[in-house]
């Protein structure tokens, strides 16, 4: 396929638009989290900056950017400055394979609401979530501080353990859709979303993505009660901001992947497809915040126990049962 | 199966937090809304008047002496009718810790703690309250108490000129 100038302009337009959507989305997710956590705790939350506090993300960004950027003297300067980007970039890159809606007709040509329809989309997502581990690991290592190191060690083992159950819980989805491409997976759910066939896989995936984006009850790498702030203890200013924004972009990207794999992505009655997609992602984001407002942090051995002794065998069993069912059908 | 029990517990917790989302927040939006403080709250300090409308303060310096942070200062003066009063009376609220010891020490119930909350000030000098800022028109907590009704005002100027009164002794003449 040769690229014409229109193709390139279209692609650039899509990328810029997507960036705008996810960065605004992440910024307002922070506000939404603060407000909803406030309501859960019978408080109001930030409502002073602008109407209903809607300018709060802007104020936060200004605060982050104008804070002093500190690098500890004992830190590994190169890795220290590289790590926040390594945490945020994989989270943003995941959006390249996410279809936001049905293909639309625009100026007489078909436009896919997706940057790239990779035929190995699921593998690409798994690979990126593995690379995201490096941000945590190197951030903690390069800080040269014991809290950061402990946090990153925890983060490493947690992310690697839960990646396993996350990957295994996606195998039945791929078996049902007979494709690794995300557009095909959404198309395979035209009649029935996969959550109906795969409730167990959905539950495993949900728990795994909670662990994968290091949210309460799996926030052991950060664990502010024990490790100050875990792997990003030594970070300040916009470097911390990148870790922070990366976490929220991760929530959005993992929420959209959960809705793509199990809830039929942009498919839904009545409303336009893009709106359905945003509603589903919003529901997942709300779930993440809701869980954070409810559950306490797991102990380290409980975390490992849940991952290795429960979720992974259950996911394997689920693959076997799905294969059996597919063969006998 | 313990895991089913665990899931049930998690769902119970989630339902409780979900119900709390729609509950009315307990937050008081401070500068706009104010909570009425209890009657005995130790807020800002006031100087009260007796039921007849005269100042209760007799400038005895007991509040100043009781104050652990030395934020009260005054100068005593005596009026024509023999009543003592404070020529000036000053409380530096930037030092005041609102402990209430001055109000406990006051023999005439003049200095009292009011439930009024402090306002913030841009300048520290604005935190220094003079007598006219402190004096209120009411009687405060004990509306019927009048010190001079108990003690009388049988002191006249100059000292010793009252009926059956001796002239004050000159302490210097008693020195060895």
Instruction: Please measure the distance between the N-terminal and C-terminal CA atoms of chain A and give it in whole angstroms.
Output: 39
A38 interface with B at CB cutoff 8 Å: yes
B23 interface with A at CB cutoff 8 Å: yes
Burial A235-258 (b: 16+ CB within 10 A, else e): beebbbbbbbbbbbbbbbbbbbbb
A39 interface with B at CB cutoff 8 Å: yes
Q: Residue A182 forms beta bridges with which residues?
A: none
Has residue B137 got a pLDDT over 90?
no
pLDDT band at B154 (very low <50, low <70, confident <90, very high): low
Chain A nearest C-alpha distance from B119 (Å): 20
Has residue B156 got a pLDDT over 70?
no
* Residue B66 neighbours by CB distance under 10 Å: 17
Chain A nearest C-alpha distance from B55 (Å): 45
The pair of structure tokens assigned to A225 is: 């009660």
Specify if B70 maps to a domain: yes
Q: Cα–Cα distance between A185 and A114 in angstroms, integer?
A: 14
What was the pLDDT predicted at A179?
85
Specify if B11 maps to a domain: no
pLDDT band at B152 (very low <50, low <70, confident <90, very high): low
Residue B120 annotated in ligand binding:
no
Specify if B48 maps to a domain: yes
From chain A, the residues in CB contact with B29 under 8 A are 44
Residue B71 annotated in ligand binding:
no
More confident residue, B158 or A288: A288
Helix (H) or strand (E) holding B92: strand B84-92
Specify if B125 maps to a domain: yes
From chain B, the residues in CB contact with A39 under 8 A are 20-23, 25
Q: Are A181 and A142 in contact (CB under 8 A)?
A: no
Please provide residue B89's backbone torsions phi and psi, each rounded to the nearest 5 degrees. -145, 125
ipTM surpasses cut 0.95: no
Residue closest to A98 by CA, chosen among A14, A37, A166? A14
Which residue reads 């078996």 in tokens? A175
Q: Cα–Cα distance between A285 and A29 in angstroms, integer?
A: 8
Is B3 close to A293, i.e. CB distance below 8 A?
no
B17 interface with A at CB cutoff 8 Å: yes
Structural domain range at position B104 = 36-144
CB-closest option in B3, B21, B27 to A36: B21
Which residue reads 């190191």 in tokens? A149
What was the pLDDT predicted at B65?
92
Closest residue of chain A to B15, computed from CA coordinates: A294
A37 interface with B at CB cutoff 8 Å: no
Instruction: Determine if the peptide bond prior to B126 is cis (ω within 30°).
Output: no
Q: Cα–Cα distance between A284 and A279 in angstroms, integer?
A: 9
What was the pLDDT predicted at B148?
78
Identify the DSSP state of B120: P
Residue A151 to residues A217, A228, B17, Cα–Cα distance (Å): 15, 9, 29
Chain B nearest C-alpha distance from A172 (Å): 23
CATH number for the domain spanning B93: value is: 3.30.70.3270
Chain B nearest C-alpha distance from A44 (Å): 6
pLDDT band at B157 (very low <50, low <70, confident <90, very high): low
* Residue A21 neighbours by CB distance under 10 Å: 14
Q: Cα-Cα-Cα-Cα dihedral of A95, A100, A103, A106, to 10°? A: -90
From chain B, the residues in CB contact with A38 under 8 A are 25
From chain A, the residues in CB contact with B27 under 8 A are 42-44
CB-closest option in B10, B21, B29 to A40: B21
Has residue B160 got a pLDDT over 80?
no
From chain A, the residues in CB contact with B25 under 8 A are 38-39, 42-44
The pair of structure tokens assigned to B148 is: 């001079």
Long-range contacts of residues A271-280, Cβ cutoff 8 Å, at least 24 apart: A272/A101, A273/A101, A273/A102, A274/A100, A274/A101, A274/A113, A277/A100, A277/A101, A280/A255, A280/A256
Q: Cα–Cα distance between B98 and A28 in angstroms, integer?
A: 43
The pair of structure tokens assigned to A276 is: 């359905």
| pLDDT per position as a tens digit, B49-86 | 888 888 888 888 999 999 999 999 999 888 777 788 88
In tens digits, what is the pLDDT along chain A, a chain of 329 residues? 677 887 788 888 888 988 888 888 888 898 999 999 999 998 888 888 888 888 888 888 898 889 888 888 888 888 888 888 888 888 888 888 888 877 777 776 777 777 777 888 888 888 888 888 888 888 888 888 888 888 888 888 888 888 889 889 989 888 888 888 888 888 888 878 888 888 888 999 999 888 888 887 888 778 777 888 778 888 888 888 888 888 888 888 888 888 888 888 777 777 777 888 888 889 999 999 999 888 888 888 888 888 888 889 999 999 999 889 888 87
* Residue A127 neighbours by CB distance under 10 Å: 13
CB-closest option in B3, B17, B26 to A40: B17
Total of domains in chain B: 1
Maximum Cα–Cα distance across chain B:
100
B167 interface with A at CB cutoff 8 Å: no
Q: Cα–Cα distance between A279 and A282 in angstroms, integer?
A: 5
């Amino acid at each position: 396929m040769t690229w014409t100038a229109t193709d390139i302009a279209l692609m650039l337009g899509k990328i810029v638009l997507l960036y705008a959507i996810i960065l605004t989305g992440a910024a307002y997710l922070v506000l939404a989290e603060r407000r909803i956590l406030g309501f859960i705790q019978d408080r109001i939350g930030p409502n002073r900056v602008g109407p209903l506090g809607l300018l709060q993300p802007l104020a936060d960004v200004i605060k982050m950017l104008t804070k002093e950027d500190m690098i500890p003297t004992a830190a590994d300067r190169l890795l220290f400055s590289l790590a926040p980007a390594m945490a945020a970039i994989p989270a943003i890159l995941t959006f390249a394979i996410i279809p936001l809606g049905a293909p639309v007709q625009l100026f007489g040509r078909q436009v896919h609401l997706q940057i790239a329809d990779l035929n190995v989309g699921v593998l690409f997502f798994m690979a990126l979530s593995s690379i995201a581990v490096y941000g945590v690991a190197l951030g903690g290592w390069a800080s040269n501080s014991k809290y950061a190191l402990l946090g990153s060690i925890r983060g490493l083992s947690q992310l690697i353990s839960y990646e396993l159950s996350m990957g295994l819980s996606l195998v039945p989805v791929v078996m049902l859709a007979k494709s690794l491409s995300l557009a095909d997976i959404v198309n395979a759910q035209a009649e029935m979303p996969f959550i109906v066939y795969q409730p167990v896989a959905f539950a495993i995936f949900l728990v795994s993505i909670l662990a994968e984006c290091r949210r309460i009850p799996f926030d052991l790498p950060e664990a502010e009660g024990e490790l100050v702030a875990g792997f990003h203890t030594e970070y300040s200013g916009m470097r911390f901001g990148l870790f922070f924004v990366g976490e929220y972009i991760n929530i959005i990207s993992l929420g959209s992947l959960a809705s793509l794999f199990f809830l039929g992505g942009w498919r839904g009655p009545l409303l336009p497809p893009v709106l359905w997609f945003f509603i589903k992602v919003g529901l997942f984001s709300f779930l993440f915040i809701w869980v954070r407002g409810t559950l306490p942090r797991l102990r380290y051995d409980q975390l490992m126990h849940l991952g290795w002794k429960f979720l992974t065998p259950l996911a394997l069993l689920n693959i076997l049962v799905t294969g059996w069912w597919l063969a006998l059908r | 199966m313990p895991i089913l029990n665990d899931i049930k517990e998690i769902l119970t917790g989630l339902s409780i937090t979900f119900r709390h989302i729609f509950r009315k927040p307990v937050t008081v939006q401070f500068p706009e809304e104010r909570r009425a403080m209890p009657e005995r709250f130790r807020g800002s300090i006031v100087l009260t008047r007796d039921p007849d409308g005269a100042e209760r303060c007799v400038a005895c310096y007991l509040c100043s002496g009781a104050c652990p942070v030395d934020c009260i200062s005054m100068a005593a003066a005596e009026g024509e009718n023999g009543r003592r009063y404070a020529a000036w009376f000053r409380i530096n609220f930037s030092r005041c810790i609102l402990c209430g010891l001055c109000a406990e020490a006051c023999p005439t119930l003049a200095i009292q703690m009011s439930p009024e909350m402090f306002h913030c000030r841009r300048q520290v000098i604005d935190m220094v309250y003079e007598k006219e800022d402190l004096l209120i028109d009411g009687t405060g907590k004990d509306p019927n108490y009048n010190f001079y009704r108990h003690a009388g005002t049988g002191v006249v100027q100059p000292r010793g000129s009252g009926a059956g009164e001796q002239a004050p002794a000159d302490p210097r003449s008693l020195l060895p």
